[in-house]
Each structure stands twice: as C-alpha cells, then as structure tokens.
Amino acid sequence: MAKIIGIGKYVPEKVLTNFDLEKIVDTSDEWITTRTGIKERRIAPKNTGASVLAYEASKIALKRSGLKASDIDLIVVATITGDTPFPSTACFLQNHLKAANAACFDVSAACAGFVYGLAAGWQFIKGGLYKNVLVVGSEVLSSITDWKDRSTCVLFGDGAGAVILTASKKDSILSAYLGSDGSESEILMVPAGGSRLPASEETVKNRLHFMKMKGNELFRIAVRVMVQAAGKAIKGAGLEFSDVDLFVPHQANERIISAVSERIGIPREKIYINISRYGNMSSASSAVALCEAYEEKKIKKDDIVVLDVFGGGLVWGSMVIKWA
Ligand code: UT7
C-alpha cells in the first residue's frame, strides 16, 4: 500500500498574457477569457528540457518527503514534450537529481499522464517491487506550440508537478480508473517527428511538428469521459460524490470543468481551478493544481481528493486519494 509523502511544483518565471498574444495572432483577451478561462500562462526559456522543470518540482517534493534522492527506487515522468525522443526524460531527471538507485521510464498519456503515472507508481509499490516512487508531470508545451495558429497557441503553457509515493500500512490511494479510445487518436496530436512521418524539410515547412487539435470535438468527449471516469473511481473507492472534499480536474478549459462539475454535482467551492494563471500544461496541469491546493491549505489530513483528467490519445482517468 502507498501514501503521498511529498509534493512540489515549478513553473517558469516568464508570464505570457492574453494581451501579449493579441500582438502575435488575431485573438483577444475577451475571446480567450470567455472561451477558456485562461488569462496568462508560463513559458520556459528556449531549449529548456522538460527534465529541468521536473528537477525543480522534484527537489521540492523530495525536501517535503524527508527522503534523499538516493532513496528513490523508481522515477516515472509523464510528458509529451520530453527532452529528446529517447532516452526517457526520467533518465535525464535521474541524472539531475543524482538518484542513482532509481529505475526510470516515461509515460506517454498526454494530459492524463500524471494520473497514469501515479497509478503505475502506486501499483509498483503495492506489488512490492519498489518502496519510494517519484512521479512527475512535466511539460514544455511552448516547444510544440504553433505560434501562428490562434486556435491552439492561446491554450497551452509550461510547468511541472511532482509527487513522492512511499510504501505504507494504509493505502491513501483508494481507487483509480483509467480509460482510452485509440479510434480518436488523430483529433489531438503532433503529426510528425515519429516513425510514421520522420522529420524532413517538408514536415518542418508544413508545420507538422506542432500540436494540431480539433477543439470542439474534444470538448464534447472530454466532458462525457471525465464525468464517467470520476464516477467509476468514486464508486471504486466505495464513496459518493457528496464525500468529495476537493475535486482537482485537468485544466484544459474552465467551461469543461464547469460542465463536468455540474453533471456530477460538485459545488464550485470544492473544485480547484488555476487555469487562469497557467493555461493547459498537459500532464503538469493536475500535478501543479494538486500541489497548489496543498500549499494553499485547501487539503487537510483525511480529506477525499479526486483527480480527473483527459487528453490526447484519447486517454482519461480519475483517482481517489484520502490525504495522509
Ligand atoms: O488538454 C486536453 C485536450 N484539450 C481540450 O480538451 C480542449 C477542448 N476544446 C476547447 O477547449 C475548445 O474547443 C477551444 C477553447 C479549443 C475552442 O473553443 P470553441 O468554443 O470550441 O471555439 P471553436 O473552435 O468552435 O471556434 C469558434 C470561433 C471560430 O470562428 P468562426 O468559425 O465561428 O468564425 C474560430 O475561428 O472562434 C474562432 N477562434 C478564435 N477567435 C479568437 C478560434 N480560436 C480563436 C482565438 N481567438 N484564439
């Protein structure tokens, strides 16, 4: 069984506001705010690896856990913007941390990656293979954002969140539910740079190394599967929606969060929302939101916290945590 003993986050210093974006593409603060809830996002310095952001968040999580880097047995990094196509960003992070005793791998589950990573870490501990697991969601989405495409460039930001799980007598993760639908994989993707369409002059010219998204199709699916995932995870924990103390959803669009929470009947004061400050940070969104909720003392011991995420793949998931 496992519990969370440390949590940390890091966002780059540079703030890019909606007003800054008005100067780059044909958009407005009014459109972005009313359609998404986003006011600003953070942008990492050019050529920063996701492992660098992950390192900053992990240092804080480690400090709060009381563990040393050498105590970590496993590092799982959820990212779609890894430092390089391979090796894993988890290996780069291991080297930054000098966590020499850890096994390392990345999780590719887009915006759901942090919950997929947490579920993996939890199960590795439950299965007895590892004792101390570092799970990080880290993204430099600015590196795959097409700054000429107003339909996507206003949505995303950079950041990282990290959690340390350790073996314990009681489980603080009460349940997890993960789902996917590969038949919809083309509606949110980076088309080129993989084996199917390796980098070439043509792919660069056609801007195929940037994110492409069919926003309103995704919106409808997101609401449906996030409602379903939260329901399954809460039922799996033997609880009701009324037992939830804090709901921490993926921060892709404030209207998605409102639609999901209305359908499951969670009141506004029980939802953690920080999208206005960071935009969508993919796998880092739920990790950073969980960390900020903790830092702002919105989570107390024994509170029931529900993560609920959705992203490209398509992938989704929800996890119920009883805060230890
Ligand atoms: O992280 C997980 C995956 N991501 C998501 O789940 C995102 C889900 N989707 C969304 O959040 C929303 O669909 C968006 C925020 C992406 C778009 O909002 P929307 O209300 O679905 O807008 P739309 O795509 O239907 O576009 C409406 C109009 C269009 O103009 P016309 O065709 O009606 O004249 C767009 O060209 O808004 C226009 N538009 C913009 N206008 C100003 C699109 N982007 C912008 C922009 N500024 N940045």
Query: In the Cβ-directed half-sphere of 302, how many Cα atoms lie within 13 Å?
Result: 0
What are the pLDDT digits (tens) for 94-118?
999 999 999 999 999 999 999 999 9
Cα–ligand 1 centroid distance for 155 (angstroms): 9
Residue whose tokens read 């489980």 = 171
What homologous superfamily does CATH list for 2-171? Thiolase/Chalcone synthase (3.40.47.10)
Do 97 and 132 meet the contact criterion of CB atoms below 8 Å apart? no
Bridge partners, 308 (sequence order): 249, 318
Q: State the DSSP code for 112.
A: G
How far is 180 from 137, CA to CA, in rounded Å? 19
The predicted structure's pLDDT at residue 118:
98
The predicted structure's pLDDT at residue 168:
96
Q: Can you tell me the mean pLDDT for 257-275?
A: 96
153 is catalytic: no
Q: For a pLDDT cut of 70, what percent of the chain falls above it?
A: 100
Q: Name the pLDDT band for 76 (thresholds 50, 70, 90).
A: very high
Given 153, 250, 253, 274, which residue is catalytic? 250
The predicted structure's pLDDT at residue 83:
98
In 3D, which of 288, 176, 194, 276 has the Cα closest to residue 234? 176
Q: Can you tell me the mean pLDDT for 186-196?
A: 97
Whole-number Cα distances in Å, 240 to 26, 120, 211, 264: 45, 25, 37, 10
Query: In the Cβ-directed half-sphere of 220, how many Cα atoms lie within 13 Å?
Result: 5
- Between the two ends of the chain, the Cα-to-Cα distance in Å is 12
Q: Which two tokens stand for residue 315?
A: 């992938």
Residue-range domain boundaries for the chain = 2-171, 174-322
Q: Which of 116, 151, 214, 308 to mutate to test the pocket of ligand 1 (most atoms within 8 A of CB)?
A: 151
Q: Phi and psi at residue 79, in whole multiples of 5°?
A: -160, 150
What predicted TM-score, i.e. pTM, was given to this entire model?
Answer: 0.97
Do 31 and 251 meet the contact criterion of CB atoms below 8 Å apart? no
Q: Which residues in 245-282 are b (16+ Cβ under 10 Å) and which e? A: ebbbbbbbbbebbbbbbeebebeeebbbbbbbbbbbbb
Q: Can you tell me the mean pLDDT for 90-94?
A: 98
Do the bridges between strand 246-249 and strand 2-10 make them parallel or antiparallel, or are there none, so unpaired?
unpaired
How far is 180 from 291, CA to CA, in rounded Å? 26
**CATH says 174-322 is which class?**
alpha beta
CB count in 10 Å sphere of residue 201: 7
Cα–ligand 1 centroid distance for 152 (angstroms): 8
The predicted structure's pLDDT at residue 154:
98
Residues with CB under 6 A from ligand 1: 27, 31-32, 35-36, 111, 150-151, 154, 188, 215-216, 218-219, 222, 252-253, 280, 310-311
209 is catalytic: no
Q: Which two tokens stand for residue 235?
A: 């039922």
The predicted structure's pLDDT at residue 93:
98
Do 20 and 50 meet the contact criterion of CB atoms below 8 Å apart? no
Nearest CA to ligand 1 atom 20: 35
Q: Ligand 1, residue 310: give the atom nearest the CA.
A: 2
- Within this chain, domains 2-171 and 174-322 share the same CATH topology: yes
Cα–ligand 1 centroid distance for 206 (angstroms): 21
For residue 41, the one-letter residue type is R
The predicted structure's pLDDT at residue 115:
98
Q: Which of 147, 216, 276 to mutate to test the pocket of ligand 1 (most atoms within 8 A of CB)?
A: 216
Q: Between vectors from CA 4 to CA 298 and to CA 75, what angle results, nearest 5°?
A: 125
Given 91, 153, 280, 291, which residue is catalytic? 280
In 3D, which of 317, 288, 287, 322 has the Cα closest to residue 305? 322
Residue whose tokens read 């890091």 = 10
